[in-house]
């Protein structure tokens, strides 16, 4: 568990290795950023730390347009969705599965599922299913 002093050091150094671990909100601007954001360094007294971007938004902050801190959580959700779909395919490897069935499972359109699945795994859903067999 990181304390606020370690987090502040990461913000002051613009340490990209801490991106995704927390975000910081600046009270005077109402914006939250990643630790590596290239924006002007805020005063320490105006900074609040949050574990997730959603917590910062709940507190009334809006996302920085430079570093886009909410993009990390969207990418993580996408990977989690595709990982869950891979587990579904593995569990039903011997069954006939079509793209429409997988799209319904993932709550995506067939075309969007095809693009996302290939972007995350490097394979199409059909290729992954055949490899699991």
Three-class DSSP category at 100 = helix
Cα–Cα distance measured from residue 132 to residue 20, given in angstroms and rounded to the nearest whole number: 32
Cα–Cα distance measured from residue 128 to residue 20, given in angstroms and rounded to the nearest whole number: 29
Assess whether 132 carries a catalytic annotation: no
Q: Which of 33, 37, 64, 67 is catalytic?
A: 33
Structure tokens at 90: 């593995």
Cα–Cα distance measured from residue 82 to residue 90, given in angstroms and rounded to the nearest whole number: 12
Cα–Cα distance measured from residue 46 to residue 29, given in angstroms and rounded to the nearest whole number: 9
What residues are annotated to the active site? Answer: 33
């Amino acid at each position: 568990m990181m304390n606020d002093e370690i987090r502040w050091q990461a913000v002051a150094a613009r340490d990209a290795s801490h991106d995704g671990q927390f975000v910081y909100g600046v009270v005077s601007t109402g914006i939250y950023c990643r630790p590596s954001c290239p924006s002007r360094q805020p005063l320490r007294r105006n900074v609040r730390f949050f574990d997730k971007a959603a917590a910062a938004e709940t507190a009334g902050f809006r996302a920085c347009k430079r570093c886009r801190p909410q993009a990390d959580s969207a990418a993580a959700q996408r990977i989690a969705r595709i990982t869950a779909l891979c587990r579904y395919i593995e569990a039903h490897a011997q069954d006939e599965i079509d793209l429409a069935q997988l799209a319904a499972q993932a709550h995506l359109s067939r075309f969007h599922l095809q693009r996302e699945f290939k972007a995350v795994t490097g394979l199409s859903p059909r290729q992954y299913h055949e490899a699991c067999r």
